[in-house]
Structure 1
Amino acid sequence: MVVETSGVEVGQGHRASEERAAEQGVRFDELLDEHSQVLNLLDDTVALRGLAQRIRHECGAHIGLAGPVESEQLLVLRQWNGTWADGLHDLHVPMGLGLGGLSFAELRPVWVDDYCASELITHDFDRPISADGIRTMLAVPMVRAGRVHGVVYAAMREITDFGGRRLDAAVNVANSGGLALQTADAARRQRETAAAAERRRIASALHDSVGAQLFRIGAELRDLRTHAEDGSTALLDRLVSLENQIAETASAFRESVHALDHDEPSGGLAATLSGDCAAFQRRTGVTAQAVEIGTTPDCGPHRTRVLVAAAREALLNVEKHAAAHSVLISVIALDDGVTVSVADDGNGWNDHAAAGNGIGLRSTADRVEEVGGTMSVVTNEDGGLTVRIWVPLW
């Protein structure tokens, strides 16, 4: 049997198919937009990149910039859109300086029609501004719950007006940016808390399982050696060697568990190192303390982690090799950076591999160099060693 289909029915079916495809396309675009919004709320880098693009587009500007507040009085331009040169990239803007620093300090939008000629602002950043041909510029703080999370900028390479609709659009971008950065910061802290909890869980599980097993094996080896004392010398030597290997493995295992159980730095560099000294003293019985000399500026979370990791590696070497009676960690601002010194009164780490040539210190020195810092190990005149770590503020 042949079924005839009219051209009208075919056309209607085709149009219905096109309509469904169009609806699915719209829904797909909506899902992409929702995905982008979720990313903006969870990742501050993505949020800042989107803010630089949005303020440029919504204000009809030549350049869009976005920078988070990375310490109490420091703004850093981390994302940009439409720049010619790289002078504004990762530019550090202290509170009160330039246009963004003024907006940061006064918690209000600020704009100038001719940046380099303006008497409203300081001119610390005229060179990178001129390199990008900027004339008129607007800065709006991203404020949430009374706290400035960052600043967004719109800039033109000609003299124009940033009042009215453009100003309203920039303020809307800044308001949404403040929420995004606040949420991203909360998400980051939750991730760090969850990671710290997971490290502690793994450390506890390892301690209860592998640690107990190592202890049991060591005990059995010691028991075998006791019963084999009347046997062959070769057997006794083999048992002693195995016992020493187990002891070394157990020591490395304890160090791994200790590292897993250490939280990320919190409460400031000096406070974190004081906590490490207290843990070191409880573990070893060796007197240890950390002192902060003067006020130490914030060198950023990544460099702070590098300093803490280096100090912990130095403490570990003191514990393993120095036979020290006391350890002093000092923190001081020095040469546009932060210096942490770990000094002990021990025997100078008699194990040559530890004194600057060990894997731990070599890898630590590499991490310090990656952030532009330096690390040295020097002999003290009255005995012992000092490990000195310096990192720049930016």
Structure 2
Amino acid sequence: MRMQSGSTEAGSREDLIAGGVRELARRTRFPVAFGGLIHDGEVDITTIVGNRTRHLDGLQVRPERGLGGRAMIELRPRMTNDYRSSQQITHDYDVFVLGEGLRTLLALPIVVEGRPRGVLYAGAWEQSPIGDVTTAPAMSVVQRIATELRIRDEVERRLHEAAPPPVVASPQREDLRESFAELRSIAAELTDESLRERIAAVERRLMGVAEPAQALDAEPAAHLSPRELDVLACAAVGSTNAQIATQLGLREGTVKAYLRSAMSKLDASSRHSAVVRARRAGLLP
């Protein structure tokens, strides 16, 4: 198994692919599965499971080339149950695929915001039928990976843009508050604890810039749960209950319940009052 060297974040993306490859093999019951993400214009196959030989080691796939390249260009799964004789693909990678002895091959592109980001494969040494029973669970695997990559991309963009200015004027303050609310929403979707911790660190920086003296000196008047703070942060930038529910993946009734709880803890009679009190307490920027 070849792993991409570099940052922790690159490593965590490779971990995501490794989990996806194992899940693909389990859900499709194909004996062999492998895949990777695009780096420098080519897909580096970083995870291989179930292989009998080492022929798939070092495989790098270019868009347009081979079954996986065609899947990435067409942004849809491509499959063959007789790889050797297929006339629909280039055979650039025969030494890898046929070296492993694979006859049936399914290639699934990982598509984020309309762009291919990688590809997963499921294969078998014998001729096997590939139909909806196989492709539906296989697509759910790559769609889950694509969603996680999209979230991570957004987190990275926010972290990159989150270097706060030394003095926050009124228009900048509103932008800062919106960024804080969006970061809370993004963090609520993440399963990667290291990314959640990085977002929390950025939130603390934003808090310190929004109210430098107050954030350092004030003692919070109430303790809000993470979800109560998520909901209140969205309400603070004018989102309706329905919009908050969509942003955080909650039911609208659940949003109302969190708001009522936060208002009670802050001794506030309205959401506006709750936001004001939370800001004075250093809980919101």
- Distance in 1 of aligned mates of 2:21 and 2:132: 20
Q: Work out whether 1:122 is the aligned partner of 2:90.
A: yes
Matched to 2:21, the amino acid is A
In the TM superposition, 1:204-353 aligns within 5 A as none
CA separation of 1:126 and 1:176: change in aligned 2, threshold 3 A: same
Cα deviations across residues 354-381 of structure 1 (Å, max 9, x unaligned)? xxxxxxxxxxxxxxxxxxxxxxxxxxxx
Would the aligned equivalents of 1:76 and 1:92 in 2 still touch at CA under 8 Å?
A: yes
1:139 aligns with 2:107: yes
CA shift for structure 1 position 193: 6.8
TM-score w.r.t. length of structure 2: 0.50
* 1:56 equivalent in structure 2: 25
Q: 1:103, 1:174 → 2: CA distance?
A: 13
Residue aligning to 1:84: 52
Q: How does 1:90-101 map to 2 (within 5 A)?
A: 90-101=58-69
Deviation at 1:151, TM superposition (A): 1.0
Question: Which deviates more, 131-140 or 174-183?
Answer: 174-183
Matched residue type, 1:143 = V
The superposition leaves residues 333-371 of structure 1 with CA deviations (integer Å, 9 ceiling, x where unpaired) of xxxxxxxxxxxxxxxxxxxxxxxxxxxxxxxxxxxxxxx
Secondary structure of the 2:88 match is coil
Q: Quote the residue 1:149 is aligned against.
A: 117
Q: Deviations over 1:297-351 (max 9, x none)?
A: xxxxxxxxxxxxxxxxxxxxxxxxxxxxxxxxxxxxxxxxxxxxxxxxxxxxxxx
The yes-or-no answer on 1:47 pairing with 2:16 is yes
Match of 1:105 in 2: 73
Q: Deviations over 1:183-241 (max 9, x none)?
A: 334445566677xx69xx9xxxxxxxxxxxxxxxxxxxxxxxxxxxxxxxxxxxxxxxx
Q: Are the aligned partners of 2:18 and 2:47 in contact in 1 as well (CA < 8 Å)?
A: yes
Task: Give the superposition deviation at 1:147.
Answer: 1.6
> Cα offset for 1:85?
2.5
The structure whose Rg is larger is: 1
- SS of 1:141's equivalent? strand
SS of the equivalent of 2:22 reads helix
Following superposition, the deviation at residue 75 of structure 1 comes to 1.9
CA distance in 2, matches of 1:178, 1:171: 10
The aligned residue for residue 3 of structure 1 is none
Find the residue that maps to 2:53 and give its secondary structure: coil
Q: Is the 8 A contact 1:100 1:139 kept in 2?
A: yes
CA distance in 1, matches of 2:15, 2:83: 29
Tell me the equivalent position of 1:368.
Answer: none
Mapping of 1:1-12 within 5 angstroms? none
Query: Could you tell me whether the CA contact under 8 Å between 1:98 and 1:121 is conserved in 2?
Result: yes
Question: Which amino acid letter does the alignment assign opposite residue 47 of structure 1?
Answer: L
Flag the structure with higher strand content.
1
Please state how far the C-alpha of 1:161 moved relative to its aligned partner.
1.0
Instruction: Tell me which residue corresponds to 2:37.
Output: 68
Between the aligned partners of 1:190 and 1:53, the Cα distance in structure 2 is 30
Q: Distance in 2 between matches of 1:136 and 1:123?
A: 14
CA distance in 2, matches of 1:40, 1:65: 21
> Which of 137, 154, 160 pairs up with 1:169?
137
Query: Matched residues in 1 for 2:130 and 2:137: separation?
Result: 10
The Cα of 1:88 is off from its aligned counterpart by 2.0
Alignment check: 8 A CA contact 1:41 1:184 kept: no
User: Secondary structure in 1 aligned to 2:34?
Assistant: strand
Asked whether the 8 Å contact 2:73–2:116 carries over to 1, the reply is: no
Using the TM superposition, give the Cα deviation of residue 154 of structure 1 relative to its aligned residue in structure 2, in angstroms. Answer: 0.7
CA separation in 1, counterparts of 2:54 and 2:115? 29
Pair 1:66–1:53, CA change in 2 (3 A): same
| Code of the aligned partner of 1:145 | E
Give the superposition deviation at 1:55. Answer: 0.7
How far is the alpha carbon of 1:84 from its aligned partner? 2.3
Change beyond 3 A, Cα 1:66–1:187 = farther
| Contact 1:150 1:178 survives alignment (8 Å) | no
AA aligned opposite 2:34: L
CA RMSD of aligned residues (A): 2.8
- Secondary structure in 2 matching 1:66: strand
Between the two proteins, what is the percent identity of the paired residues?
Answer: 28
- Matched position secondary structure for 1:137: strand
The code of the aligned residue for 1:181 comes to: L
Structure 1 residue 86 displacement after superposition: 2.7
Deviation at 1:76, TM superposition (A): 1.9
- 2:88 is matched by which residue type in structure 1? L
Kept after mapping to 1: 8 A contact 2:14/2:36: no
Contact persistence 1:44–1:185 (CA under 8 A): no
